[in-house]
Amino acid sequence: MAHAVVEWTSNLEGEADIHGLLELIAAAMRNSGGIFPWGGIRVRAIRLDDYVIADGKADDAFVNVTVKMAAGRTAEFKKAFFTDLFEQIKAHFAELYGRRYLALSLYVEEADEAGSFKHNNIHKRFKKD
Q: What percent of the chain has pLDDT over 70?
A: 96
Residues 69 and 84: their CA atoms lie apart, in Å, by: 17
Taking a C-beta distance cutoff of 8 angstroms, is the pair 39, 120 a contact? Answer: yes
- Structure confidence at residue 122 (pLDDT): 75
Backbone angles phi, psi at 19, to 5 degrees: -65, -40
How many Å apart are CA 51 and CA 62, to the nearest integer?
10
Question: What would the pLDDT profile of 60-76 be if each residue is shown by its tens digit?
Answer: 999 999 999 988 899 99
Q: Indicate the pTM of the whole model.
A: 0.89
* pLDDT (0 to 100) of residue 11: 97
Proportion of the chain above pLDDT 90, given as a percent: 77
CB-based contact 77:86 (threshold 8 Å): no
Q: Is the pLDDT of residue 29 over 90?
A: yes
- Mean pLDDT estimate for the chain: 93
Listed in sequence order, the residues at least 6 apart from 40 whose beta carbon sits closer than 8 Å to its beta carbon are 1, 2, 120, 122, 123
Q: What is the pLDDT of residues 67-121, one digit of tens each?
A: 999 888 999 999 999 999 999 999 999 999 999 999 999 999 998 777 777 777 7
